[in-house]
């Protein structure tokens, strides 16, 4: 039976990641259909949407134990990223240093050949891990890299989730450079004897964009696209935010606090044309802040909202308190 995203009842709690606190993800029908379609079509899922709507969190959630129970291999794109970084990295500097060491030791031709074997300088990138976990693991051991975290009961042939985050930060040659690898499920690192191709179940590749740069048409055509958003009108947005607040902080605050926070955010979001407009992320930051500042004291949380909201919600230039 093919892999399918079957969300559990209720919410998924995601463990802290780096300095990010514990988070909660609530699957919606649209996201489940989009993920299952991407799995069935064996295409990347390009997730569009404003910052803070949960695009990256979606990838974390689908890899969770309660859903696909597989590793999440993530890569955050920046302005210096090249497409090859997502496939492999060749450490030319280390190889040059090894050549200098060999010369200093007066090694013979055979010793030099072994020392400078290109295989010793390839570092597997996220798509290498996703295509052929065992090969990437062997290569990582050869060069001293750590493997991504994986569930104990996971089989490498069962596939994993890859998150390519904020691809719009890079130049257009990055998505263009991934077309063949993502389309054919194979790539060949220059100078390596064997190519890398998908072993077992294909990975689920989730690619996010904040729409800061237009992506090449050829790249978008090879993806399934999911537009992730929050409600566009104030009347629908308020209960939406309160529901998300309950999911995250239901045991730390009450509905009065959640509703006032939602009112503040809605007022600012629809009361200005300036950017950035506050959204779901700012709302959750606001509720988290007052819950931490006034633990267990709902009345004090309610009053504190008015003191701290201007720091969390009113972020556009010229905003008043």
Same domain? For 307 and 171 the reply is no
| 92 and 183 Cβ atoms separated by less than 8 Å | no
Examine the domain organization and report whether 242 and 212 are in the same domain: no
**Does one domain contain both 186 and 208?**
yes
**Neighbouring residues of 198: CB distance < 8 A, sequence distance ≥ 6:** 131, 132, 185, 186
Angle between helices 234-249 and 255-270 (to 10 degrees): 140
Query: Region 72-82: what's the mean pLDDT?
Result: 95
**pLDDT band for position 2 (50/70/90)?**
low
Q: Cβ distance 255 to 238 under 8 Å?
A: no
The closest of 272, 275, 254, 274 to 264, measured between CA atoms, is: 272
pLDDT at 321: 46
Q: Is residue 157 part of a domain?
A: yes
9 pLDDT more than 80: no
pTM above 0.85, yes or no: yes
Looking at residue 163, its pLDDT comes to 98
pLDDT at 107 over 90: no
Same domain, 175 and 252: no
CA neighbours within 13 Å on the CB side: how many for 191? 14
In a domain, 116, yes or no: no
Q: What span, in angstroms and rounded, lies between the C-alpha atoms of 14 and 20?
A: 10
Statement to judge: residues 262 and 222 lie in one domain: no
Residue 101 counted as domain residue: no
4 pLDDT band (50/70/90 cuts)? confident
Percent of the chain beyond pLDDT 90?
A: 69
Domain boundary among 178, 204, 227: 227
pLDDT band at residue 317 using 50, 70 and 90 as cut-offs: low
Confidence of residue 112 (pLDDT cuts 50, 70, 90): low
Q: Of 207, 227, 247, which residue sits at a domain end?
A: 227
Within-domain flag for 5:
no
Q: Tell me which DSSP letter residue 17 carries.
A: B
Residue 97 reports pLDDT greater than 70: yes
Residue 164 main-chain phi, psi, to 5 deg: -105, 105
Domain end position, chosen among 227, 254, 273: 227
pLDDT tens for each residue of 219-269: 999 999 999 999 999 999 999 999 999 999 989 999 999 999 999 999 989
User: Among 111-120, 234-243, 275-284, where is mean pLDDT lowest?
Assistant: 111-120
Same domain, 82 and 218: yes
Residue 56 lies in a domain: yes
- pLDDT at 116 > cutoff 50: yes
191 and 269 fall within a common domain:
no
How many structural domains is the chain composed of?
2
Q: Are residues 203 and 284 in the same domain?
A: no
* Mean pLDDT within 26-42: 93
Render pLDDT for 50-64 as a digit per residue (tens, 0 to 9): 998 999 999 999 999
What digits encode the pLDDT tens for the residues 155-168?
Answer: 999 999 999 999 99
- Residue 96 included in any domain: no
CATH code, 143? 3.40.50.300
CA dist., res. 189 & res. 182, Å (int) = 15
263: domain range?
A: 234-311
Decide if 268 is inside a domain.
yes
> Are 240 and 272 in the same domain?
yes
Per-residue pLDDT, 316: 63
Runs of H (alpha helix) within 151-216: 173-184
Residues 220, 243 within the same domain? no
Are 178 and 255 found together in one domain?
no
Phi and psi at 48, nearest 5°, equal -100, 150
pLDDT of residue 320: 54
Percent of the chain at pLDDT > 70 equals: 94
- 129 with 160, same domain? yes
């Amino acid at each position: 039976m093919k892999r399918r995203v079957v969300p559990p009842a209720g919410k998924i709690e995601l463990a802290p990641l780096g300095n990010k606190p514990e988070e909660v993800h609530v699957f919606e029908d649209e996201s489940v259909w989009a993920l299952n379609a991407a799995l069935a079509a064996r295409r990347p899922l390009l997730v569009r949407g404003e910052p803070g709507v949960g695009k990256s969190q979606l990838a974390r959630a689908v890899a969770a134990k309660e859903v696909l129970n597989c590793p999440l291999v993530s890569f955050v794109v920046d302005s210096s990223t090249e497409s090859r970084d997502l496939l492999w990295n060749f450490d030319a500097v280390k190889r040059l240093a090894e050549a200098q060491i060999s010369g200093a030791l007066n090694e013979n031709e055979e010793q030099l050949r072994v020392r400078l074997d290109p295989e010793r300088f390839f570092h597997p990138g996220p798509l290498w891990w996703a295509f052929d976990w065992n090969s990437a693991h062997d290569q990582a051991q050869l060069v001293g890299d750590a493997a991504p975290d994986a569930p104990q009961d996971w089989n490498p042939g069962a596939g994993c989730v890859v998150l390519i985050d904020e691809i719009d930060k890079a130049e257009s040659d990055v998505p263009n450079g991934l077309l063949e690898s993502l389309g054919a499920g194979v790539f060949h690192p220059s100078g390596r004897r064997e190519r890398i191709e998908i072993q077992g179940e294909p990975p689920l590749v989730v690619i996010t964009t904040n729409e800061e740069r237009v992506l090449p048409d050829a790249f978008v055509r090879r993806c399934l696209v999911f537009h992730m958003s929050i409600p566009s009108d104030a009347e629908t947005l308020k209960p939406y935010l309160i529901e998300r607040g309950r999911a995250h902080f239901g045991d730390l605050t009450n509905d009065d606090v959640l509703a006032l926070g939602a009112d503040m955010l809605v007022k600012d979001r629809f009361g200005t044309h300036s950017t950035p407009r506050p959204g779901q992320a700012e709302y959750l930051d606001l509720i988290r802040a007052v819950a931490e500042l006034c633990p267990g004291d709902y009345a004090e949380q309610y009053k504190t909202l008015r003191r701290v909201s201007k720091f969390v919600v009113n972020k556009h230039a010229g905003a008043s308190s």
